[in-house]
Structure 1
Amino acid sequence: MGSRIHVFLLLVSAPILLVVAQTNQDFVALKSLIDVWDNIPPNWVGSDPCGSRWVGIRCTNSRVTAITLASTGLTGTLSGDIGSLSELQTLDLSYNKGLTGPIPASIGNLKKLTNLLLVDSGFSGLIPATIGSLPQLSILSLNSNSFSGSIPRELGNLSNLYWLDLADNKLSGPIPVSNGTTPGLDMLTKTKHFHFGKNQLSGEIPSQLFSSNMTLLHVLFENNSFSGSIPSTLGLVTSLEVLRLDRNSLTGSVPSNLSKLVHVSELYLSNNQLTGSLPNLTGMSVIYLDMSNNTFDASDFPPWFSTLQSLTTLIMENTQLQGQIPVSFFALPQLQTVVLKNNQLNGTLDVGSRYGSQLQLIDLENNMIVDFKPRMGFKINLTLARNPFCQETEGTTNTYCDIRKLPDSKYSTPENNCNPATCSAHKVSSPNCRCAYPYMGFITFRAPSFSDLSNTTIYTSLANFLMQFFQSHQLPVDSVSLSNPTRDTDNYFVLTLEVFPPSDQDGFDQTGVSEIGFVFSNQTFKPPHNFGPYTFLSLSYPFGYFEGITGAKKSSSTAIIIGAAVGGCVLVLLALLAGIYAFRQKRRAEIADKQNNPFASWDRNKNSGDVPQLTGARSFSFEELKKYTNNFSETNDIGTGGYGKVYRGVLPNGHLVAVKRAQRGSMQGGNEFKTEIELLSRVHHKNVVSLVGFCFEQGEQMLVYEYIANGTLKESLSGKTGIKLDWMRRLRIALGTARVADFGLSKLRGDLEKGHVTTQVKGTMGYMDPEYYMTQQLTEKSDVYSYGVVMLELVTARQPIDKGKYIVREVRQRMDKTKVGYNLQEIIDPVILGITLGGLEKFVDLAMRCVVEEGNERPTMGEVVKEIESIMQIAGLNPNSDSASTSASYEGAIKGYDHPYSDDSLFVYSGQYLPSKVEPQ
């Protein structure tokens, strides 16, 4: 009987323990976010984000599948450990201005990600190319940040992408298109939205970008620096509805086949340098047309304008129009605004008696109109200033000669048959006359099909759409208010939006705010069609004013009825499982905490505690290093590399140190950082710079080295430090480095407990074995490859442009060209030209054998040492002499060679190239 109960308990507890293990796997990644974020949700406590229902975290089968934290006030950076959430499908961190820094490349590990939403935050840097490796990605919204650089061509691999919004950043360069096996955006045949406006993109708009296979609805390229002509291939994208090419430097004529875009309702071509005849748009369903400020050929007012029965807005300022405007044009039923100033229109203006009932403004300033006779009841805003008509009537009262525009709308959603409430500071009276804290922001429509902002029906229809949406999605919203409509300088239509909480609450909790933010960042909410594409920019929400507000009401407890016959057994079983669960939860939480902060038991000023095991190095506090470097001042900045910046510091005892401060995107996990400093602390040799200490707190990772003032290898070999190494000294460096360091990358980066080598390799990638990128494993032959690159640096005196591989490639190309050997005159350092080159060719040959593609064809490190010794004998040197000579010139050269302060160094101290055989000083 006892064994049966034992088996039963195992069967029941096994899935529970599996759930705990999976949840804890994701907790470790979320814990890394907690370490670098401030203002996290208050209920992010414990170690079970799924079971505890952390705010913004959605789980499926105990795995984190969504993080939605829009508008929650987060500050900090996006940790690279985000890539560990392998089941994540949605990531929304929009409207958090305090989130800064780059997107980590590890984002490309989220192979199940469908929605990546980082709208209106503080992110910067390059858009990582690894985003192109997300096969399921459907919505990519990175708009309204500070991203720079070019658009990654790898985005063309996103075969399931529906929405691509990169607008309002600092992106530059051309739009990438495919070439052979190289991807480009022309491959995005399922994408409906290209929103690239308000950037610094340049070059021609590639004709290859568009084809009949595309299904684009919106092409928004406004306000960039595009040049060249409008590609005629645009006419092949017959699905297109909105086209904005305005505010660029486009030239040439408008392709005639644009008239085939019969579904285009908003067409913006203004503020370019277009020439030729006006395009004939007969047959199109254009509603909003703006071709102003171009250099078209002079032409009479086109009769086809009168065929555009849906036209609401015609903006043709400064387009060389002449002749008379036909009366039939003003009879278009939907017409609201006509701006035709700065042309050569002439004759008598006649708007007829049947002009459209929605017509609000006719602006004909600076034309050649000689007469106008208004008909009975004419109340349209008309401007004829700077026309002959006004010159002839000068001195008389003629309101049409004033410069007039449509008045700004003062609309604000009215109260619902109630008296506005008098609210205290920070609260706002809702349309239902109740004081509350609304969720506020600006909803910006990038291409609306109307121009009359005085028509209140457009606001009521939008408000109704919003409320219907919130109700159908069961979001806790009482009412919405719209106000302050305006056209901004980008010709966008902007509204202030206020969303009010339910009547029994003063405000939203973080869940409510993030849910509302998500419907905008994710474009889940669809406005009426005439509003066109939009974006939402949120204002910070005042959570602090009503702490303690709960979100949705908790559901009442549900009674659990247990049959009397089995009640006792079930209670015992539940108690036992609860004990097992609690114990394992606590144990895993402790492990997770230790993994994320492996320095918890470390005494800062003594080598006590069980982690890390340091030799002669100490732990510094952030405040200490801040003080020693004068608050990381620019005057103390002595170097910059891919790892971060390096600052000169002065310890209380007067010793100079170099503090290497990791930038957010290059930081490692806690265990990796711990392993690195343990290894570095054991390296003690006269030719290797010493580790003084480290800092791991306040989301920072810093390494503290002894200060070396001799400069880099590159500077040493070029004579900048007064050291001019000849060929023989370089041989001593090569042999000394091989004997002292032996690189040992594969040995020291291994995990003895797990029996494998880590795949999280940091540092200078150009020294990396090419096989690593295929196998993700480092071997002793990987060390040989890395050392071979250094050997080539010794004779070329060049640092790798792309971290090593260009040196290897260049030497190979020289070899291919000569067919019979190396053209040494072109690849070696001019410093050693003219010196007897005894053994130099053999040295280059040995280096090239070290960097062959396949590891099994490379020599061993022992063989390399023997061959260098042989080459030294050829050069007339004694290989058995002290390889670490104490002569002044050689000592200085070595120190310069091992300079750790920038990416020009041999050893970039971030855990990659460390000696496996440490020789004591």
Structure 2
Amino acid sequence: MLLLLNGNKLSGSLPDELGYLSKLNRLQVDQNNISGPIPKSFAYMSSIRHLHLNNNSISGQIPPELSNLTTLLHLLLDNNNLSGYLPPELSKLPAMRIIQLDNNNFNGSEIPATYGSLSRLAKLSLRNCSLQGSIPDLSSIPNLYYLDLSKNNLRGSLPSKLYDTIRTIDLSGNHLSGSIPGIFSDLSFLQRLSLENNQLNGSVPANIWQNMTSTKSYSLTVDLRNNLLSSISGALNPPDNVTLRLGGNPICDNANIANITQFCGYEAGGDRTTERSTEFYNDMIGYRLKSPSFSYFDPYVFSFESYVTSALKLNPYQLSIDSYFWEEGPRLRMHLKIFPPANNMHSSTFNVSEVLRIRGIFTSWHFPGDDLFGPYELLNFTLVGPYAGVYLTKGKIISKGVWVAIALGSIACIIAVTAAVSLLIARRYARQHRKMSRRHISSNASMKIDGVKGFTFKEMAMATDSFNCSAQVGRGGYGKVYRGILSGNSIVAIKRAEEGSLQGQKEFLTEIKLLSRLHHINLVSLVGYCEEKEEQMLVYEFMPNGTLRDWLSDKAKGTLNFVTRLRIALGSAKGILYLHTEAQPPVFHRDIKATNILLDSKLTAKVADFGLSRLAPVLDDEGNLPNHVSTVVRGTPGYLDPEYFLTHKFTDKSDVYSLGIVFLELLTGMHPISHGKNIVREVHMAHQSGIMFSIIDNRMGAYPSECVERFVALALSCCHDEQEKRPSIQGVVRELENILKMMPEADAIYAESTPTYSGKSTPTYSGKSASPSSFNSSQYLYESSSLLGSDLSSGVVPTIKSR
């Protein structure tokens, strides 16, 4: 399973939900404008092999939890704004091949010594990361090809032992000292040794290039500039394919050393292997190596051609590397051409199926892994020449390929027409089936549900002035909600199902059955229902103060002070407590959210919308009580329990998680998910950073800081990723009651009679002030701003007047 979103100018943060794609093999979101932290939920990607998040603006700490990704091969996080420390836990990744974290800011962090145990590592690149400390022992990594620790604040000596597989060593721009060890003379495949801009002293070891000869197919660059090197051990006569740079060392002032001046200039030496560079062509295969483990490509051209043609099941002569050049990163970009086999006597071109096969291998990432060449990306696969457009012979005879295209197009048209006709028939059948089902449900509802008033369609129409748009106060997935006045002048909320609603007949019966036997001050009461003339309607007590989300919105016409928010939280929790422990049988709500918490005239919280609710588990045949119900994931994004999302097992703690999200909304006024930001992550980061009060909703006036701190701690504990670490709903209610007891007595008494605070100042807590106000809720009505919220949303919110 692949998710490839690189190079799309995406913004916002990485959603937590990506972490629950347990079958995801490759995630590429590089080269975008993504910000925010790496979600800890990424640790659940149990099949991930490639995690490419480079070239974004991702910030925060690399989650140590990524050490759970036992299948991870490539971790590319370079060119971001990451900070904190390098997690030692990454050394637990048994399959890791490439760690590339260049150009981040791990200020003061050291390179964990445990990275030396990454026995399969091929590339470690930590350039320009503000690292300090010494270079760890990497002598136990047998296939390390590439080591770049340049532009940091590393101190101490150079490595005393490395395997001779290494191609590139870049330790420049640090504070390394001591002499240059003799191990570099044993590295027979070395292409580049960059030690410039350090504090190395002693002599230049001439044996570094002793294994190099001019007949070698590759070159070696040794850059020792700007150190304290004062002498040479051996003759200063490197072969032509060795580039030696010594400028800025005391040795350059020694006129007694023969040939010294030619190595003390900026480009001293015999660098005769400049990489080829051309502009990008649009008429061939564009291919890029994202993290190659070498500095020069020439020695590996033949092995690369063999690697690609082997994956494509072609002969080596069928591939031509038209051009290649290095890009910033470094990354290697190239343009490839592929030719038909020379022994094809029947055609000088590929047939259509062969072109599709080759393109399919490129686009489906079926290339085998290779530590030397690293991960790749396909930039373009452009068909040219005889493969582009319609091909005509000299006699204007249509080619076989065109006939094939015409035949395929005809078949596609026939299939499309057949599908359209089938769809029309299916829709007509479904419409008739819904009519019959509704008649059947109507009779079942009237038989099975006692004590619930049945209304006629005429009564509903009269109550809403024939469902006049002026009576509409909300809308949800089920349908529209109207404010209605019954014959006895009682005001009700009427939820009317729409044709093809997102919910439906099952939810209709569920809500009637549940609400007919659920009675609690913190649950919305069902007045009755209407099932007539192919209509489905539910009638509830009217909530004049709308939804909780309405009050937390930036467009709200009123504000809620802290103690009122605390009481709303407690009322909501008590409603859920009743569902979980006192209802017979108990009920899991499954869709707790701020738009499903309604407020009456006294701002008492009432939980609404039971269309997705499920009965809690009952005793099985052996007398055991399961702790969950297994179900298809349903609910609202941002409120979903991560474990439920992953396992499809809903427990009482899943409702607690959703309620915790509501608590965070009460504290901050934020939406659960907004502009790529996740409320749990934002609050958790602020809490850990000691800046919690900076994101508290400033509209709720004064509050005792210790009460807010306990409320925040409770909310975050409810939102813990692991269910067993969340409090029970009984514990939530108990803690909210304890927090209310901590409130100053004047505030607690005042909140009993006054629902909102604003206006003139009253006693101050934590440097913030608040004051009371009064209102007449029946005078001010407005349409709910929530279009996706509760189906019972009344949308009636009072205007607040200062005293």
- 1:230 equivalent to 2:141? Answer no
SS at match of 1:232: coil
1:480 aligns to what?
320
Match of 2:613 among 732, 745, 750: 750
Instruction: Supply the distance in 2 between the matched residues of 1:791 and 1:104 (Cα, whole angstroms).
Output: 18
For residue 155 of structure 2, the aligned residue among 247, 252, 268 is 252
217, 220, 223: which one pairs with 2:122?
A: 217
* Structure 1 residue corresponding to 2:334, chosen from 477, 496, 502: 496
Aligned length: 590
TM-score, normalised via structure 2 length: 0.54
1:466 partner amino acid: V
Change (3 A) 1:321 1:110: same
Cα offset, 1:236, TM superposition: 3.8
1:855 to 702, 714, 729: 729
Q: Aligned equivalents of 1:156 and 1:304: distance in 2? A: 41
Deviation string, structure 1 residues 288-325 (Cα, Å, up to 9, x no partner): 34233233243122254255559833222223222246
Q: Which residue of 1 aligns with 2:194?
A: 291
Q: Relative to 1, partners in 2 of residues 1:518 and 1:876: Cα closer, same or farther, differing over 3 Å? A: closer
Whole-angstrom distance in 1 between the partners of 2:241 and 2:367: 30
Identify the residue that residue 271 of structure 1 maps to in structure 2: 173
Distance 1:682 1:252, change over 3 A: farther
Q: Does 1:471 align with 2:313?
A: yes
Contact 1:299–1:322 under 8 Å retained in 2: yes
SS at match of 2:139: helix
Q: SS of 1:345's equivalent?
A: helix
SS where residue 116 of structure 1 aligns?
strand
1:524 aligns with 2:368: yes
Instruction: Quote the residue 1:317 is aligned against.
Output: 225
Once residues 467 and 604 of structure 1 are traced to their aligned partners in structure 2, the CA distance between those partners, rounded to angstroms, is 70
| Partners of 2:554 and 2:232 in 1: CA distance | 83
Q: Whole-Å Cα distance in 1 between the matches of residues 99 and 23 of structure 2?
A: 23
In structure 2, distance between residues paired with 1:137 and 1:271: 34
Q: Deviations over 1:633-675 (max 9, x none)?
A: xxxxxxxxxxxxxxxxxxxxxxxxxxxxxxxxxxxxx9599x9
- Taking the TM superposition and a 5 Å limit, the aligned residue runs for 1:301-380 are 301-305=204-208, 308=211, 312-324=220-232, 326-327=234-235, 330=238, 335-345=241-251, 368-369=254-255
Match of 1:667 in 2: none
Residue 106 of structure 1 aligns to a residue in which SS?
helix
Residue 145 of structure 2 aligns with which residue? 241
Q: Identify which of 174, 178, 186 aligns with 2:91.
A: 186
- Equivalent in 50, 54, 62 of residue 151 of structure 1: 62
Q: Structure 1 residues 337, 805: CA separation in 2 closer, same or farther (over 3 Å shift)?
A: closer
Aligned equivalent of 2:397: none
Provide the C-alpha distance between the structure 2 equivalents of 1:874 and 1:142, rounded to a whole number of angstroms.
49
Distance 1:482 1:271, change over 3 A: farther
Q: 2:284 is matched by which residue type in structure 1? A: P
Question: Which of 552, 555, 575 pairs up with 1:707?
Answer: 555
CA deviation map 1:669-701 (0-9, x unaligned) = x9599x9xx999999755336999xxxxxxxxx
Pick closer, same or farther for the CA change 1:465–1:859 going to 2, 3 Å: closer
Match of 1:687 among 545, 548, 557: 545
Contact map agreement 1:685 1:920 (CA 8 A) in 2: no
- Give the Å deviation of 1:483: 1.8
Would the alpha carbon gap of residues 231 and 122 (structure 1) be closer, same or farther in structure 2, given more than 3 Å must change?
A: same
In structure 1, what is the Cα distance between the partners aligned to 2:645 and 2:406?
A: 57
Q: CA deviation at 1:132?
A: 1.4
CA shift for structure 1 position 130:
2.1
The verdict on how the C-alpha distance between 1:325 and 1:523 changes in structure 2, with shifts beyond 3 A counting, is farther
Give the Cα separation in 2 of the matches to 1:728 and 1:121.
43
> SS in structure 1 opposite 2:2?
strand
| Sequence identity percentage | 14
Letter in 2 for 1:93: L
Contact 1:97 1:121 in 2 (8 A): yes
- Structure 2 partner of 1:78: none
| Contact 1:750–1:757 (Cα < 8 Å) also in 2 | no
Is it true that 1:107 corresponds to 2:43 in the alignment? no
1:240 to partner: Cα distance: 2.6
Which amino acid is the alignment partner of residue 97 of structure 1?
N
8 Å CA contact 2:167–2:293 kept in 1: the answer is no
AA matched with 1:186: S
For 1:682 and 1:199, the matched residues in 2 are separated by 56
Which ranges in structure 2 are unaligned for 5 or more consecutive residues?
341-347, 392-399, 408-417, 435-466, 484-500, 508-535, 572-597, 618-628, 669-678, 689-699, 719-725, 761-770, 799-803
Which one-letter code corresponds to 1:482 in the other structure?
D
State the Cα distance separating 1:144 from its structure 2 match.
Answer: 4.5
Q: State the Cα distance separating 1:187 from its structure 2 match.
A: 1.4
Q: Which amino acid aligns with 1:471?
A: K
Amino acid at match of 1:322: S
Q: CA separation in 2, counterparts of 1:771 and 1:471?
A: 44
Change over 3 Å in CA distance of 1:882–1:892 after alignment to 2:
closer
- Amino acid corresponding to residue 271 of structure 1 in structure 2: G
After superposition, the C-alpha distances for 1:813-847 in whole angstroms (9 at most, x for unaligned) are: xxxxxxxxxxxxxxxx995789xxxxx9xx99xx9
Cα distance in 2 between the residues matched to 1:276 and 1:227: 19
Hey, what does 2:486 align to over in structure 1? Answer: none
Aligned amino acid, residue 481 of structure 2? T
- Name the counterpart of 1:170: 80
Corresponding residue number in structure 1 for 2:525: none
- Give me the whole-angstrom Cα distance separating, in 1, the residues matched to 2:567 and 2:175: 63
Task: Choose from 259, 284, 288 the match for 1:438.
Answer: 284
Cross-structure match for 1:48? none
CA distance in 2, matches of 1:315, 1:808: 47
| 1:615 partner SS | strand
Separation in 1, partners of 2:327, 2:541 = 62
In 2 relative to 1, CA 605–343 (structure 1 residues): closer, same or farther, beyond 3 Å?
Answer: farther
Tell me which amino acid in the other structure corresponds to 2:335: L
Does the C-alpha gap of structure 1 residues 96 and 540 become closer, same or farther in structure 2, counting only changes over 3 Å? farther
Cα offset for 1:154? 1.9
| Structure 2 Cα separation of the partners of residues 134 and 588 of structure 1 | 43
Cα separation, 2, equivalents of 1:238 and 1:171: 31
Q: Is the 8 A contact 2:123 2:146 kept in 1?
A: yes
Letter matched to residue 614 of structure 1 = K
Q: Within 2, Cα distance between the matches of 1:212 and 1:609?
A: 58
C-alpha distance in 2, partners of 1:427/1:804?
48
Equivalent in the alignment of 1:776 = 650
Structure 2 SS opposite 1:130: helix
TM-score w.r.t. the length of structure 1 is: 0.48
The answer on whether the counterparts of 1:300 and 1:321 sit within 8 Å (CA) in structure 2 is yes
- What's the counterpart of residue 515 of structure 1? 360
Residue type matched to 1:496 in 2?
A: M
Q: Distance in 1 between matches of 2:377 and 2:125?
A: 16
Contact 1:193–1:217 (Cα < 8 Å) also in 2: yes
Whether the 8 Å contact between 1:129 and 1:154 is mirrored in structure 2 is yes
Helix, strand or coil for the counterpart of 2:195?
coil
Once the two structures are superposed, residues 449-491 of structure 1 have per-residue CA deviations (whole angstroms, 9 ceiling, x without a partner) of 54xx8x6x765664455345433499xx964333254x5565x
TM-aligned CA distance change 1:161 to 1:893, over 3 Å: farther
